[in-house]
Structure 1
Amino acid sequence: MENSFNLSTISNEYNMLMTSLHISVSKHLLNDDFQVIWANRFFYDKTGYTKEEYDQNFHGSVRLYFSSAPEEYQAIEKAVKDALTANQRGYDAVCKMPRKDGSSIWIRFIGTFTNESIDGVPVIYVVYTDVNDLVNARTKVEKEHSKSQNMLRKELQTMECLKRIYGCMDMAEYMDDILYIIGTFLEAERAYMFEINDTKMDCIYEWCRADIVPQMDYCQRMDIKLLEPWYEEFCQGKSIVIPNADALKEENTYTFEVLHKQGIHSMVLSPIVMHDQLTGFIGADNSNVELLMNTSMMETLSYFIGISIEKSELNDKLIYHSFYDELTGAFNRNKYLQDIEKLCQSDSFTSLGVVYMDINGLKDINDHMGHKFGDQILIEGAEMLKKAFPAGDIYRLGGDEFVVLINGIGQSTLEDQVVNLKHYILLSTNCKGAVGSIWTDKVTDIDSKISEADELMYKDKMDFYRKNPTSNRYRFHNDTILQFSDKSKLEEEIAEGRFEVYLQPKVDFNRHIIGGEALIRYHDHQGKLIMPNDFINYLENARGIHYIDFFVFETVCKLLEKWKKENLLLKPVSVNFSRYTLRIPEYIEMLNAIWERYDVDKSLLEIEIIENDENYDNDFLISIIDKIKKAGFAISIDDFGSRYSNMALFINADLNTLKVDKRLMDDIDHNKRSQMLISSLVQICHSLHMRLIAEGVENEKQFSILQELGCDGVQGFLISRPVQIEQYENLFLK
């Protein structure tokens, strides 16, 4: 009696606990019907029946309850019998439990055998857990597993295709392999690529299964109308899947007839879209329908094929720009240097004609007629050269300078063609050029002969300016200036002290000196002071400017050493260098050779380069800046903003100072855009640890505005005009 009370109490407590935990639980007799003795309300909720309905319909028999799903009941019976046979404490089974509404849910049955019995029949407790979501998820996973195997194979095939695409620059090298992989993976009869041009499309690559007749010849100049049903989706980059081509028969008769004629029952097409334009597509015919529906492989490949085509086109453009002058279509300096090297190493050299031509007065034309007109003059000059030397290679070396190399030409033929060129120049209204030519039959003479042709051209140019003394570019072309083309005479003028270095200060906004700029002046034989604008360009064209540049540099080195010995204030001095000097291969070595003769800190020597020179290509400019910095000298960019604004310099070049061009100062007191630009430049410079100096400051209003904008310093007539060295020392260093 006591044991019965304890069992009953424990049973009640168990039931209460399960109910309070919202756990489905029932108590059964371990007989053939698995008779329900008691169950909590959560058990009945699982069945969809109330307790009364369950008892009325099934009389507590689990076997009868599972009559609509006998196989599920058999699974429970087997689990119970196996557990008893194995002398286990309970059983664990998962099966579908039918519900009142005709549905079924997956339930986990966890039964526990007890020592309790009723009329000698053992009692078992069962806990029910809804595992419907879990089982469905598992079933889904199993279904997806087979799909994932295909997906994995597809991804591996796609990766293999991408390797082929990115391993080759030429589409012809990889496209056959790509189509083979697409065709075999999709179990297709054909795979192909079409190119679209206007209203027509052409099959340009095709793969066919061994037993299939190729269709490429038939698929040429096909009407784009064939794509009409899907054209809009195609242009949006969407793939088209046609599992059954017969479905097109009613609505798209034309498309159906074309497909039917080729024996196409199903197909998948993926567009190639470049620059928002439909340029082609890849496709496959008569594939495995299940594989056909997954278009990601085709879409991935069509996308990367488009990128590959764009990359190839870009590479072609880069090659073109590496070797061609975009304005005139002539070769550029890079190509010229490459070809000269090849000529010097050639085993088949017979003879060479070299022609130099320089457009006269191009700077005047640009200044007064505009650069657009000047560009037309350059184009006309290039066309003259092409016409005069049909077998020659034409190069634009930069600015107004052209050279022609004619390999294997006879001397008399060269002379005749040069006469023709000069005749074209004579007949031209606008394009006037100086010409120099030379012929050689010795490969060892190439470099010297090219230099000789260059010299002859500049003699011709000197004759032009003698005959045209009113040219604005060379308005001081008296005989003294013209003879600067003679290098020995130029060195003599320098030695006689006719060239003098002036200095102009740079100051901060407390008007304390922070540096200076060295500028050149020339005293002619009549005692007249000639400003650099009147002779620098001529010296550049005569290839004598480097004598002046290095003279100024050495003068500055001497001054800095002198100031150091005299305990004067030491501040950096900048020296301007022409583009021609910068292009001397030994430029850095020549700088160092001068510097080594003086006791001067390199940080006090600032090399100033003009940013707005169209003759600099960006790579060269960044390269020379890098070399100057590595040599230990400071570097400054001059005239920033006057015409070009090379922001790439900020990113790729290690600069010390940026000097804003005077033209931005002219209206800064009322031009808010100029102020905003300078404010932005100040922020960029400071974030990159650079100083920003404003040139051409002429009044207090400009000075105040620049101070408010955060500039580091100014240079201009407000502070001082360029002055002679002694005056500079007295005013600013003592």
Structure 2
Amino acid sequence: MIPIVSKLAKLWRRYFDLFRKDPNVQAVGLKLFVWAVGGTVILFVGFSYFSYSHSQQIVIDKVTSAAKQTVVQSRDTLNIIFRNYEDITFSILTDEEMLHQLHVYGSATTNQNEKFVARNKIVESLAIRFFSKSDITNIHLIPVDPKLKEITTDTLHTEIVDYSKEEWFQRAVIANGEIGWLATKRYGYSNVGQPSFAINRLIKLSSGMKYVLLIEISSEVLKRSFGDIQNGEMVILNPANQLMTRTFSELEGDFYRIPNVFHTNPIHAGHPSDSITIKVDGDMQLVVAEKIAASDWIVQAVIPTSELFKDANTIGKSMLISMIGIAVITYLINYYLQRRRNAIKIRYMAYHDHLTDLANRKLFMEVIEKEIQLARHNRQEFTVLFLDLDRFKIINDTFGHEAGDRMLIETARRLEDVLDQSCTVARFGGDEFLILLPNRSDHDAILSIIHQITTQIQRPVYYEEKELHVSVSIGVSRYPQDGNDIQCLTKYADTAMYSAKESGRNNYKFYNTNMEKNTYEKLSLERDLRHAIERDELLLYYQPQIELSSGTIVGVETLTRWNHPKLGFIPPSEFIPIAEYSRLIVPIGKWILYTACKQNKAWQDAGLPKVHVAVNLSIHQFQNSEIIQTVAHILQETGLEPQYLELEITESIAMQDVEKVILTLQGLYALGVKISIDDFGTGYSSLNYLKNFPIQRLKIDKSFLDDIVINPKERAIVGAIIIMAHSLNLRVTAEGVETMEQVALLQACNCDEIQGYIYSRPIPTHECAELLAERRVYETTERLLQNG
């Protein structure tokens, strides 16, 4: 009895504090409080010897709810995993090169050597493309024609397995391309000793040849999808009630000790979880199950109820029916408090961002509407700021969404620290924020606030011992100069923000009417640019690269020009940023790469000197997961030898996720192409990483050459870059050379190649071909001295 009295004393002390602190609660009145206390004492004395009879069901319901949530989460994880592997089978079905090699391998007209080569190419392609997924243990392509041998990535297992008599093989052939999921085998489908399940489907070539694709996947991927079930276990079962993964007492492939209790009432994917309590070997078991949408398998949680009832029995014996009396009395107080608390909570959730705790778009719109009415009545002015974090997507993609969330939370906190309580800060969506500065129109005061905001946001944010940096672009609109309604003010602030981004980011802009015009023009250009390739409006120009020691052309850099049917030639400085922003740079870049390679091959076939052609890769091209395959395919299709293609990336690209950049560069280098770092010296390269990059050339940016003749420091920097590059066995090309004085200084510094207007502007294809045909030797300082 003493512990119960102590708990009741604490409970009433808590409610007394609420009465004392909350004026709304005090309104209930002292009489109600006295009546509640007296009634509670009477009920406690009268019913203290009756136990609470429903404790067991409460515990079961609570555990069932938690188990259902865990099972649903595991099901959703498995659905995502299964769809990913279904996508892999689809990518194989749509891989034209692989289908071609399968045709070559299965053709009756193909000799044994060609079959061997085709088989190796298929295995190599599978290994390169899909074994980055560590969960895939083997991939098999099994010909339906028994005369042909299986194609498999299992090169270490020499035993030939005859799959044609397997039931799943026959089902796959009959299914005619539908996906099939195969149960876990304890030693794998190719008997390699590792438990694995599999996905299969029929590949049917246009020639009529058929192969059964079988991808073996480690059963560990299933185990990793399980959530934590306290005092129980999670399993995955096929319709035959066989285990996909091992449990405490059974192995993969065994029939589960818990019978299939849902066979009479089948589970359907997407429906609420099914649960049931059954007795197995004298013990009651709580079973919760969910159907996986991608297959016929079931995710099942099993919990012995004996473990659940230990605490429930104790509670049932110790809890007395007097709690009913306490509930009735406290309800009179709680009713009003809870309603008020819920109303506040619901409103808060409806009007605030769940991540940052800032106002959301809905609340901001209400606040600004009230501010417009107040400003119109008092003839005041106010300002709206539209903020967007620069480079946020890179941080989100590189370090994960948790790092991105951390950055957003910290940004929200810093904005609240900078601004006073009269201002309203809202998260507009993603990495965009809106700020209302009431009764603010003074230009200098607004600039002061903007400066404080940019200074605070540029401070580093630390996440898992990593230092993350972002900047912010800000657009400003003012009432009533720029607009007198919500839509105009937010729209114009947004327009000004994008203008700030286009001006180099980490910037701010006040709205003006010219921005609307510029935005419309850019949208029109983007629309026309989407059709530029198909309408043959894009042209390639080439600028020769001259070897200083000989004066001969050793390479050409590819430059893109757009001949608009109405506007004429549009400079790259106008349409390339639009292509980058709209991601059109990916198909355009692929067209440039293909056209440049094709043209260089055509020059070589025409007997012109063999030179390399340099092509710039954008960050979106370089970060594409298929960039290596794209370059390899273009080289194969055009017939250009890899050493005559040079790919240029900027320093800023090279320093994004350096480990991944090194892997991509190594893959390109393995193809045999040359790689150069463009605009060297303008970014923030780390020499520690630079030495690990498989590159052959550095290109010195034009900005270092503009003052090289009159500025000794510029000459020293250029000379140091060249010495460093040569010490790393790299060649150096100077861009933007315009005078013979620059040529002389670069030659004195042992620069290898130059390109610039001193020798040639970027020229069309036919003029470049004429230069190559002339085998022109350009005058350099050294050649001028030799000629007297």
TM-score by structure 1 length? 0.39
Q: Which structure has the larger Rg?
A: 1
TM-score, with length taken from structure 2: 0.36
